[in-house]
């Protein structure tokens, strides 16, 4: 299984809602990542997890809260988002942080904040 | 700091060659190349490390000039399936997972 699975594929939420994005991989990868991608822009790194511990937070607003409950799962909890947070949220994983074999990306969750 | 890619867009006929460049003003540890087709996830193509090591798909070639902090991706005998947006990603130090992507180069291959 060489897939990174993200759910849901699409999400529409109001600015007062709380929702969560889920990412799962069964490749035994120990590094997992959240990226945000706006239309016609490159992916922007948000968080890096290594061995279930948060190692990088790219100054992401606290309305985004990541969680890594185990080595296969990565969640992104969303609360009080703004319309400008609407984007494609990509999860990725790699064997470890050295990325020598590249990262596998999921198909993403397309988030719309209304 | 975001690397700079050039050109921004390329249109080719099948069988033609293309070169995509990626440059940084800072010293780099590694350069990564990904391709993203419309509506799909980015797919890893290649990694180039300072010191000359590289890993990636057999049909893709690339170079990394450490003195100039520049990398080039060579697409030869292009096929329709090569169409998509190519991103270079750079790391300034190893084993951090901190990959910063360039703005992307859109490649369109026509029959």
Q: Residues A34-55: pLDDT tens digits?
A: 999 999 999 999 999 999 999 9
Work out whether the CA dihedral A18, A23, A24, A30 comes out positive or negative: negative
Segment 14-43 of chain B within 8 Å of chain A by CB: 30, 32, 34, 40-43
Residue A90 and residue B34 in contact, taking contact as beta carbons nearer than 8 Å: no
Is residue B37 predicted with pLDDT exceeding 70?
yes
- In angstroms, the CA B108 to CA B73 distance is 15
Nearest to A100 among B2, B42, B47 (CB): B47
B58-87 residues labelled b (16+ CB within 10 A) or e (exposed): eebebebebeebbbbbebeebeeebbbbbb
- In angstroms, the CA A89 to CA A43 distance is 9
- In angstroms, the CA A45 to CA B89 distance is 11
* Contact list, B32 vs chain A (CB under 8 Å): 99, 102
* Contact list, A101 vs chain B (CB under 8 Å): 44, 47, 55
Residue A50 and residue A93 in contact, taking contact as beta carbons nearer than 8 Å: no
The token duo for B43 is 């797919």
- In angstroms, the CA B13 to CA B36 distance is 19
Sequence-distant (≥ 6) Cβ neighbours of residue A34 within 8 angstroms: A23, A45, A46, A47, A66, A74, A76, A89, A90, A91
Residues of chain A with pLDDT under 70: 1-2
Q: Which stretch of A16-20, A98-102, B80-84, B98-102 has the lowest confidence by average pLDDT?
A: A98-102
**Residue B58 pLDDT:** 65
Sequence-distant (≥ 6) Cβ neighbours of residue B70 within 8 angstroms: B21, B22, B23, B24, B64
**Residue B9 pLDDT:** 98
The token duo for A84 is 């400008």
Tokens 């049909």 belong to which residue?
Answer: B59
- In angstroms, the CA B85 to CA B105 distance is 5
Tokens 């540890």 belong to which residue?
Answer: B29
- In angstroms, the CA A113 to CA B55 distance is 39
Contact across the interface for A105 and B99, Cβ inside 8 Å: no
Q: Per-residue pLDDT averaged across B32-61, rounded?
A: 87
Please give the mean pLDDT across all residues of chain B.
92
- Which one is predicted more confidently, A28 or B53? A28
- In angstroms, the CA B84 to CA B79 distance is 11
Contact B101/A at CB under 8 A: yes
Is residue B34 predicted with pLDDT exceeding 90?
yes
Q: Per-residue pLDDT averaged across B4-10, rounded?
A: 98
């Amino acid at each position: 299984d060489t897939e990174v699975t993200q759910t849901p594929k699409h999400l529409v939420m109001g600015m007062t809602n709380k929702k969560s994005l889920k990412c799962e991989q069964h490749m035994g990868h120990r590094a997992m990542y959240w990226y945000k991608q706006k239309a016609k822009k490159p992916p922007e790194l948000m968080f890096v997890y290594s061995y279930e511990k948060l190692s990088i937070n790219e100054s992401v607003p606290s309305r985004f809260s990541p969680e890594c409950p185990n080595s296969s799962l990565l969640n992104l909890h969303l609360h009080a988002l703004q319309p400008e947070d609407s984007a494609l949220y990509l999860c990725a994983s790699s064997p470890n942080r050295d990325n020598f074999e590249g990262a596998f990306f999921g198909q993403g969750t397309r988030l719309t904040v209304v | 700091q975001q690397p700079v890619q050039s050109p921004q867009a390329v249109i080719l006929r099948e069988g033609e060659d293309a070169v995509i460049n990626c440059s940084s003003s800072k010293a780099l540890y590694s350069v990564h190349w990904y391709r993203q087709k419309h509506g799909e996830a980015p797919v890893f193509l290649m990694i180039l490390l300072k010191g000359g090591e590289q890993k990636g798909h057999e049909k893709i070639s690339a170079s990394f000039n450490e003195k100039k902090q520049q990398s080039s991706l060579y697409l030869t005998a292009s096929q329709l399936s090569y169409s998509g947006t190519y991103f270079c990603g750079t790391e300034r130090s190893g084993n951090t997972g901190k990959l910063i992507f360039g703005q992307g180069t859109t490649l369109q291959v026509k029959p």
